[in-house]
Amino acid sequence: MTGAIPPYIYADIGGTDRWIWFVLAYLIALAAVCPFVGSLSDLLGRRWVALGGSALVIIGVIVSSTVSSMNPFIAGMTLSGVGAGVCELTSLAVTSELAPTRKRGKYVAVLVFTIIPFCPSVLWGQLIAANAGWRYCGALVGAWNAIGFFGVLFFYFPPPRPNARGLTKRQILAEIDYVGGFLSVVGMILFLGGLQWGGYQVRSFDKRCLQTTDYHTSTSGPRFTSSYLYFSAPSSSSLSPSGKSRAPNSPCSRRASKRSHASWL
């Protein structure tokens, strides 16, 4: 909703030279966290991941709605983007888990169609910002996510996930592919940031933009992402698709691994 009212925001808190980054920070953070939500849910439990995502959205909205300058506003939108990525994927998984198998498609369709009231969010944001102030947009978003947070807190208690190996929480946390996650997130941020830098803070055809900013960040992104695919630990909880292969030496598993990498890219 805040993406529809940038003039109201930077007219109040400044930052006309970098306001585009509060939109990009939200989208990049959302995209960067999505590949890891499934693995974290399997390792830590879907309920806690869902609560953490909702909490991040609420905290991010509080930060961005109460600041008086653009940089903290961008930080708040980044937190909201991380939480939104977690919530979007977790909500689909939870709905599929709770619904009867025969009606799972209908339940997921109803969940997807709940976005209909928010399709004219640009209109709602403009009306609220013009008549009450842009900060009330954040209050509305925070209240809506608080409803979801407390709904999960009081009503969602999934059965414990199977732990056939009998691992402790410390051992489960140790299995998370932190190196792969870091390389993937940094690669995506650099790549998308390099593509979006030109045209906002510097002119798209400016020599500095073409020779330094866009070139180096856009090429660093693929380098980090390639390093993630190459160095990601080949374990059952690896974030790399190849790490999930149970029989890496069989021709069938090698073909499946290649298809998984292609799908991931």
Residue bearing the bigger pLDDT, 203 or 181: 181
Q: Does one domain contain both 28 and 146?
A: yes
For 158-201, what is the HEC assignment?
CCCCCCCCCCCHHHHHHCCCHHHHHHHHHHHHHHHHHHHHECCC
Candidates 235, 232, 242; CA nearest to 175 is 235
Residue 78 belongs to what domain range? 1-160
Q: Does one domain contain both 59 and 22?
A: yes
Q: Does one domain contain both 207 and 116?
A: no
Residue bearing the bigger pLDDT, 44 or 49: 49
**% helix, strand, coil for the chain, step of 5:** 75, 0, 25
Report pLDDT digits (tens) over 111-167.
888 888 888 888 888 999 889 889 998 898 899 899 989 999 998 888 776 665 666
pTM: 0.73
User: Cα–Cα distance between 251 and 183 in angstroms, integer?
Assistant: 28
Report pLDDT digits (tens) over 67-116.
989 999 999 999 999 999 999 888 888 888 888 888 888 888 888 888 88
Which two three-digit tokens encode residue 66? Answer: 């109460």
CATH number of the domain residue 91 falls in: 1.20.1250.20
User: Cα–Cα distance between 132 and 228 in angstroms, integer?
Assistant: 46
Candidates 212, 13, 245; CA nearest to 129 is 13
Which two three-digit tokens encode residue 43? Answer: 């390792």
pLDDT of the residue at 257: 46
Q: DSSP states of 14-71 as a string?
A: --TTTTHHHHHHHHHHHHHHHHHHHHHHHHH-HHHHHHHHHHHHHHHHHHHHH-SSHH
pLDDT band of residue 56 (cuts 50, 70, 90) is very high
Q: Does one domain contain both 151 and 28?
A: yes
Q: Does one domain contain both 36 and 91?
A: yes
Which of 160, 179, 211 lies at the terminal end of a domain, its last residue?
Answer: 160
Q: Does one domain contain both 80 and 127?
A: yes
pLDDT of the residue at 43: 76
Residue bearing the bigger pLDDT, 218 or 35: 35
C-alpha dihedral (153, 147, 58, 6), degrees to nearest 10 = 160
Q: Does one domain contain both 212 and 129?
A: no
Whether residue 177 has pLDDT greater than 80: no
Buried b (16+ CB within 10 A) or exposed e, 158-188: eeeeeeeeeeeeeebeeebbeebbebbbbbb
Cβ proximity of 248 and 255 under 8 Å = no
Which of 160, 193, 214 lies at the terminal end of a domain, its last residue?
Answer: 160
Q: Does one domain contain both 143 and 171?
A: no
Candidates 147, 146, 124, 148; CA nearest to 136 is 124
Q: Does one domain contain both 122 and 201?
A: no
Place of tokens 């830590």: 44
Which of 160, 189, 216 lies at the terminal end of a domain, its last residue?
Answer: 160
Chain mean position to CA 233: 22
Q: Does one domain contain both 100 and 138?
A: yes
Which two three-digit tokens encode residue 39? Answer: 């693995």
Report pLDDT digits (tens) over 185-229.
777 777 766 666 665 655 655 555 554 455 445 555 555 556 555
How many domains would you assign to the chain?
Answer: 2
Q: Does one domain contain both 244 and 128?
A: no
Q: Does one domain contain both 146 and 177?
A: no
